[in-house]
């Protein structure tokens, strides 16, 4: 374009010269100008790189993996000619967020696999393309040709060539590439712009308010930082955004060199919980074509130390400058505690923790960093994300984030609930059902919804138990040793994700219940056998000796899983996997927990007998509830602290009962292969199923099960502050909605017992294991009916019991009239039978009702049952 502009100038000058009188000064001036233009063209023909020289004159140069030039707000990138078509890696993450809506500093914007990119020249354009990497045909040329015409590259960005450098490198203006929504972060900004009513927000990228914020380039990676602005039509929104119309997000882009020598792959095994990189190999004889590889760091053997090897390069984590001084030592201890697991895999000094150098950028891909985030709206508690070479599963970098709220809330949570949930929600989260389950359990280090809230509730429970023992006064923070164990477990958990380990929600069942407080046993094996567990805090009843609160070293499962991934020999790894049936290797992950099938695969429980543990934990909490004012409130403290403490205790109460539901119609699920020692599914004895049902009846449905003394209810106060980030009400009420919250929990538990999948599984279990071996649908429904309607004939039914009985009728009506898909017909028939018998009992009890509330309630119940039975017959005919 510049050359075209000079030719136009020459033409205009010639025309002007023709129009001027000869011999004038003006004519001489134009002649000189034309001559100079001709000379310039001649010089340009002699010097084809003049455009480059002009381009970089006065520019700041950043040599490295890709050379960068910055000048007057524009960014230029040089692509050497011999690297056209050569693949490299690209990563994108939030460098500065807004502390809400998933926009937290350090958050990666893609899952494990870094994008595989390349520059391609087509005509006068250079394209940035993303290459596919999940499909191939390693050992069949014809199959590989078929794959190449089936799967193509995506053109991500395009630009003209600005100049050619003397070494033939193509110089591109890439300003518009990075000042755009190349990262896809705009989707998250729409969440930030969502209204208070939950309606989706709308944002658009604003180029005029965005700029290149900084660049750097090193021999093996190039970094570009861009401050982006997204416009929103909503002036309010997130309190941490100064002006809600303009949402600022800074994105850190990394272009990095692929490892020159691909790491040797480790074949994944479904018996062990490793994250995977998965390919489809169309030259494979396997019918699924899948090739699954363990995500792991590259460790290469160096000097021998006894029977172990010291790696040439250890796995190194850096503690960011944002981590407070009081936690830094614990963070380092947690990282290096993983060395015991690597010793089991044959390595010594395999992992270390260092302070991040003062001049280092925590977003630089050369550093795996543990960061401390402060969030206005906490979204995760902690995240342990890693990025891998998509060809092999080699972990290249880790980014671990910890929310300050997760530590502050745990230490003193009843004063300020950051992420309040109801007991019903806590129950469903622990059970792994409903809308609270994660959309993709294979996301790297993404903690599940409610994780932060569960940790806060554990802090409340610990504070009340210690107060009951006389070890804490109201308002005191938790002791340092408890905080230390909690911190080390949490950090080890997130580091474990970045070492390639998935969650293990079955590891708590590896510890016999009677050894939970045996520190000799837990010191070797852990309170639970894996730090990848979602545990609850290990607390003894008042008067009993407390053991370790948390597992704060690599447990027996951790040593096994790390050994599989990191032992040097695939043959050795195969032998390791066959040890799946050992008690200390129990494993069940996110997808297993969500099935509500196996009670040993449950979040926030402890011990080899989750049912007995749940009975003990709920008994402990029951003893604490009447003493909340005594243990929480002190002179001049706000009464809302009692309200908050009760809320958190009831959340823990609900979580402790989640395993009990899984016993009913449940089965123990094993990952063994043939010959490993166990069947894939083992039924839970009928006596244990009925014991679980009895526990739920006693702790949820029995009269007085969830009651509180009036004096405790009278101590519940409202929050005294109302402003952004704080509300005075609970579910819209200033006073605590005790009946509504109690009924919500009861209804949730009842619906889970009568869940269509569970009822179908019970019927299948009768055929699979024998009717005499499982709790049957008639036994379960009869037990619920008896417990929930136990007051019939006493003359008076209290308000909370009337509410529960109406909920029971709602559930039975759904079964009879509008059963969920998958509900067995036998369940519908038994539900009708229960209603018929209940109608006769209510009819007999109605005349003995001693108050109007009870009379009206029973009269209405009769009418509802009759209507349900009639409607059920109509539904069957339809």
pLDDT in tens, 431-479: 887 534 444 444 545 678 788 888 889 999 999 999 999 898 887 889 9
Q: Which pLDDT score, from 0 to 100, does residue 875 have?
A: 59
Give tens-digit pLDDT for 211-223. Answer: 999 999 999 999 9
Angstrom distance (rounded) from CA 719 to CA 641: 9
Q: Which two three-digit tokens encode residue 287?
A: 């019918």
Residues ≥6 apart with Cβ < 8 Å to 293:
265, 266, 267, 268, 276, 277, 278, 279, 392, 393
Residues ≥6 apart with Cβ < 8 Å to 861:
805, 806, 809, 842
Q: Which pLDDT score, from 0 to 100, does residue 143 have?
A: 84
Residue pair 695/617 in contact (Cβ under 8 Å)? The answer is no
Residues ≥6 apart with Cβ < 8 Å to 574:
269
Residue 418's pLDDT band (boundaries 50, 70, 90)? very low
Lowest mean pLDDT among 276-285, 304-313, 346-355, 754-763: 276-285
Angstrom distance (rounded) from CA 400 to CA 412: 24
| Residue range 391-416: mean pLDDT, rounded | 83
| Residue range 52-59: mean pLDDT, rounded | 92
Angstrom distance (rounded) from CA 274 to CA 386: 13
Residues ≥6 apart with Cβ < 8 Å to 1:
none
Angstrom distance (rounded) from CA 744 to CA 654: 11
Angstrom distance (rounded) from CA 178 to CA 52: 21
> With 50 as the cut, is the pLDDT of residue 268 above it?
yes
Residue 732's pLDDT band (boundaries 50, 70, 90)? confident
Over pLDDT 90: what percentage of the chain? 70
| 706 vs 107, more confident | 706
| Residue range 704-722: mean pLDDT, rounded | 91
| 310 vs 46, more confident | 310
Closest CA to 504 of 514, 486, 492: 492
Q: Which two three-digit tokens encode residue 210?
A: 């965005």
Angstrom distance (rounded) from CA 729 to CA 353: 45
> With 70 as the cut, is the pLDDT of residue 485 above it?
yes
> With 50 as the cut, is the pLDDT of residue 839 above it?
yes
Strands (E), 557-704: 667-669, 681-683
Angstrom distance (rounded) from CA 100 to CA 188: 10
Q: Which pLDDT score, from 0 to 100, does residue 699 have?
A: 97
Residues in the chain: 878
DSSP states of 372-411 as a string? Answer: EE--SS---SEEEEEEE-TTT-BEEEEEEEEEHHHHHHHH
Q: Which two three-digit tokens encode residue 36?
A: 């100079």
> With 60 as the cut, is the pLDDT of residue 539 above it?
yes
> With 60 as the cut, is the pLDDT of residue 661 above it?
yes
> In Å, how far are 350, 506, 633, 719 from 716, measured between CA atoms?
52, 37, 10, 10
Strand partners, 204: 231
| Residue range 516-529: mean pLDDT, rounded | 95
pTM, rounded to two decimals: 0.90
> In Å, how far are 117, 133, 560, 583 from 522, measured between CA atoms?
47, 44, 16, 14
Angstrom distance (rounded) from CA 627 to CA 649: 12
DSSP states of 525-586 as a string? Answer: H-SSS-TTS------PPTTS----SS--S--HHHHHHHHHHHSS-HHHHHHHHTTTTSGGG-
Q: Which pLDDT score, from 0 to 100, does residue 734 have?
A: 85
Q: Which pLDDT score, from 0 to 100, does residue 6 have?
A: 33
Angstrom distance (rounded) from CA 550 to CA 526: 8
Q: Which pLDDT score, from 0 to 100, does residue 780 have?
A: 97
Closest CA to 226 of 59, 92, 372, 320: 92
Q: Which pLDDT score, from 0 to 100, does residue 872 have?
A: 67
Give kind and range of the element (H or E) at residue 283. Answer: none
Backbone angles phi, psi at 361, to 5 degrees: -90, 120
Angstrom distance (rounded) from CA 610 to CA 668: 12
Closest CA to 448 of 281, 631, 589, 598: 589
Question: How far out from the chain centre does Cα 492 lie?
Answer: 16
Give kind and range of the element (H or E) at residue 848. Answer: none
Residue pair 804/688 in contact (Cβ under 8 Å)? The answer is no
Q: Which pLDDT score, from 0 to 100, does residue 389 have?
A: 95
Give tens-digit pLDDT for 602-656. Answer: 999 999 999 999 999 999 999 999 999 999 998 888 999 999 999 999 999 999 9
Q: Which pLDDT score, from 0 to 100, does residue 35 have?
A: 59
Q: Which pLDDT score, from 0 to 100, does residue 286 have?
A: 76
Q: Which two three-digit tokens encode residue 101?
A: 């809506």
Give tens-digit pLDDT for 328-342. Answer: 999 999 999 999 999
Q: Which two three-digit tokens encode residue 596?
A: 């509500």
| 151 vs 754, more confident | 754
Q: Which pLDDT score, from 0 to 100, does residue 381 have?
A: 74
Q: Which pLDDT score, from 0 to 100, does residue 200 have?
A: 66
Strand partners, 249: 228
Angstrom distance (rounded) from CA 519 to CA 691: 30
Give tens-digit pLDDT for 69-92. Answer: 999 999 999 999 999 999 999 999
Strands 368-373 and 351-355: unpaired
Q: Which pLDDT score, from 0 to 100, does residue 51 have?
A: 87
Angstrom distance (rounded) from CA 411 to CA 466: 13
| Residue range 244-256: mean pLDDT, rounded | 94
Residues ≥6 apart with Cβ < 8 Å to 222:
62, 64, 65, 66, 68, 77, 215, 216, 254, 255, 256
Q: Which pLDDT score, from 0 to 100, does residue 520 have?
A: 95
Is 544 exposed, middle or buried, given 0-12, 13-18 or 19+ CB atoms closer than 10 A?
exposed
Tell me the HSE value of 561 on the side-chain side, using a 13 A CA sphere. 33
| Residue range 715-723: mean pLDDT, rounded | 86
Give tens-digit pLDDT for 103-159. Answer: 888 888 887 889 999 999 998 899 999 999 998 888 888 888 888 888 889 999 999
∠ CA 708-607-701, rounded to 5°: 30
Return the DSSP state at 274.
Answer: B
Q: Which pLDDT score, from 0 to 100, does residue 643 have?
A: 92
Closest CA to 429 of 505, 515, 376, 526: 505
> In Å, how far are 236, 243, 247, 517 from 240, measured between CA atoms?
10, 9, 10, 44
Q: What is the mean pLDDT of the chain?
A: 88
Q: Which two three-digit tokens encode residue 545?
A: 């000796």
> With 60 as the cut, is the pLDDT of residue 18 above it?
no
Lowest mean pLDDT among 18-27, 700-709, 845-854: 18-27
∠ CA 447-453-457, rounded to 5°: 130
| Residue range 689-696: mean pLDDT, rounded | 97
Angstrom distance (rounded) from CA 120 to CA 127: 5
Residues ≥6 apart with Cβ < 8 Å to 709:
626
Q: Which two three-digit tokens encode residue 466?
A: 């210690």
Q: Which pLDDT score, from 0 to 100, does residue 111 have?
A: 75
Give the other-Cβ count within 10 Å of 70's Cβ.
Answer: 17
> With 80 as the cut, is the pLDDT of residue 812 above it?
yes
Spell 382-421 as b/e; 16+ CB within 10 A means b: bbbbbbbbbbbbbbbbbbbbbbbbbbbbbbbbbbebbbeb
């Amino acid at each position: 374009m510049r050359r075209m502009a000079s030719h136009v100038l020459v033409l205009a000058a010639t025309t002007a010269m023709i129009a001027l009188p000869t011999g004038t000064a003006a004519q001489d001036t134009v002649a000189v100008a034309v001559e100079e233009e001709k000379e310039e063209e001649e010089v340009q023909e002699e010097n084809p790189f003049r455009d480059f020289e002009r381009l970089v004159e006065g520019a700041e140069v950043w040599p490295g993996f890709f050379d960068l030039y910055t000048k007057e707000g524009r960014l230029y990138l040089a692509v050497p000619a011999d690297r056209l078509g050569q693949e490299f890696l690209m990563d994108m993450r939030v460098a500065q967020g807004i502390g809400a809506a998933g926009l937290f500093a350090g958050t990666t914007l893609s899952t494990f696999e870094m994008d595989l990119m390349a520059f391609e020249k087509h005509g006068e354009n250079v394209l940035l393309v993303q290459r596919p990497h999940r499909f191939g045909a390693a050992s069949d040329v014809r199959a590989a040709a078929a794959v190449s015409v089936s799967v193509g590259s995506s053109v991500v960005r395009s630009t003209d060539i600005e100049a050619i450098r003397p070494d033939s490198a193509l110089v591109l203006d890439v300003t518009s590439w990075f000042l755009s929504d190349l990262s896809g972060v705009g989707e998250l900004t729409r969440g930030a712009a969502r209204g208070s009513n939950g309606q989706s927000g709308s944002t658009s990228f604003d180029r005029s308010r965005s700029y290149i914020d900084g660049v750097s380039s090193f021999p093996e990676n190039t970094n570009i930082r861009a401050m982006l602005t997204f416009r929103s039509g909503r002036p309010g929104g997130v309190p941490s955004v100064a002006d809600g119309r303009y949402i600022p997000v800074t994105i850190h882009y990394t272009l990095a060199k692929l490892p020159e020598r691909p790491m040797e792959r480790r074949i994944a095994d479904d018996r062990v919980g490793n994250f995977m990189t998965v390919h489809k190999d169309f030259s494979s004889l396997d019918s699924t074509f899948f090739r699954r590889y363990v995500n792991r760091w590259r460790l290469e053997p160096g000097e021998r130390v006894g029977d172990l090897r010291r790696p040439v390069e250890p796995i190194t984590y850096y503690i960011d400058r944002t981590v407070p001084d009081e936690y830094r030592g614990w963070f380092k201890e947690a990282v290096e505690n993983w060395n015991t697991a690597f010793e089991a895999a044959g390595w010594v000094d395999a992992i270390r923790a260092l302070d991040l150098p003062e001049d280092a950028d925590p977003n630089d891909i050369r550093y795996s960093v543990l960061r401390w985030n402060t969030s206005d709206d906490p979204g995760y508690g902690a995240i342990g994300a890693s990025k891998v070479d998509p060809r092999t599963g080699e972990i290249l970098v880790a980014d671990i984030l910890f929310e300050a709220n997760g530590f502050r809330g745990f230490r003193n949570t009843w004063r300020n609930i950051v992420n309040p949930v109801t007991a019903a929600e806590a129950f469903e989260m622990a059970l792994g059902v409903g809308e609270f389950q994660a959309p993709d359990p294979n996301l790297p280090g993404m903690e599940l919804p409610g994780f932060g809230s569960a940790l806060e509730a554990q802090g409340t429970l610990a504070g009340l138990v210690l107060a009951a023992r006389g070890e804490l006064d109201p308002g005191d923070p938790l002791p340092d040793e408890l905080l230390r164990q909690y911190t080390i477990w949490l950090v080890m958990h997130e580091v474990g994700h970045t070492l390639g380990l998935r969650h293990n929600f079955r590891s708590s069942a590896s510890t016999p219940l009677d050894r939970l407080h045996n520190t000799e046993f837990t010191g070797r094996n852990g309170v639970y056998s894996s730090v990848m567990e979602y545990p609850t805090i290990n607390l003894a009843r008042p008067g009993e000796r407390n053991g370790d609160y948390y597992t704060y070293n690599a447990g027996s499962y951790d040593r096994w899983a790390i050994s599989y991934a990191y032992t040097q020999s695939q043959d050795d790894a195969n032998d390791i996997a066959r040890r799946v049936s050992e008690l200390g290797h129990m494993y069940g992950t996110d997808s297993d927990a969500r099935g509500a099938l196996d009670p040993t695969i449950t979040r926030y429980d402890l011990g080899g007998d989750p049912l007995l543990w749940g009975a003990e934990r709920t008994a402990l909490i029951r003893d604490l509830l009447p003493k909340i004012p005594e243990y929480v409130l002190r002179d001049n403290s706000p009464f809302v602290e009692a309200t908050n403490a009760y809320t958190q205790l009831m959340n823990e109460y609900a979580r402790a009962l989640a395993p009990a539901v899984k016993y009913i119609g449940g089965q123990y699920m094993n990952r063994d292969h043939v010959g490993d020692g166990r069947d894939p599914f083992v039924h839970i004895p009928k006596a244990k199923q009925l014991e679980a049902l009895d526990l739920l009846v006693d702790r949820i449905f029995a009269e007085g099960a969830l009651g509180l003394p009036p004096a405790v209810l009278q101590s519940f106060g409202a929050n005294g502050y109302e402003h952004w980030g704080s509300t005075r009400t609970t579910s819209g009420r200033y006073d605590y909605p005790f009946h509504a919250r109690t009924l919500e929990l009861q209804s949730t538990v009842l619906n889970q017992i009568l869940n269509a999948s569970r009822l179908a599984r019970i019927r299948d279990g009768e055929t699979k294991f024998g009717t005499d071996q499982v709790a049957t649908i008639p036994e379960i429904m009869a037990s619920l009916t008896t417990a929930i309607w136990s007051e019939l004939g006493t003359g008076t039914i209290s308000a909370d019991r009337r509410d529960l009985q109406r909920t029971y009728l709602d559930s039975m009506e759904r079964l009879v009239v509008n059963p969920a898909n998958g509900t067995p017909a036998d369940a519908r028939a038994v539900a009708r039978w229960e209603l018929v018998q209940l109608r006769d009992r209510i009819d007999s009890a109605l005349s003995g009702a001693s108050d109007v509330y009870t009379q009206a309630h029973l009269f209405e119940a009769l009418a509802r049952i009759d209507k349900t039975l009639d409607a059920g017959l109509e539904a069957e005919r339809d």
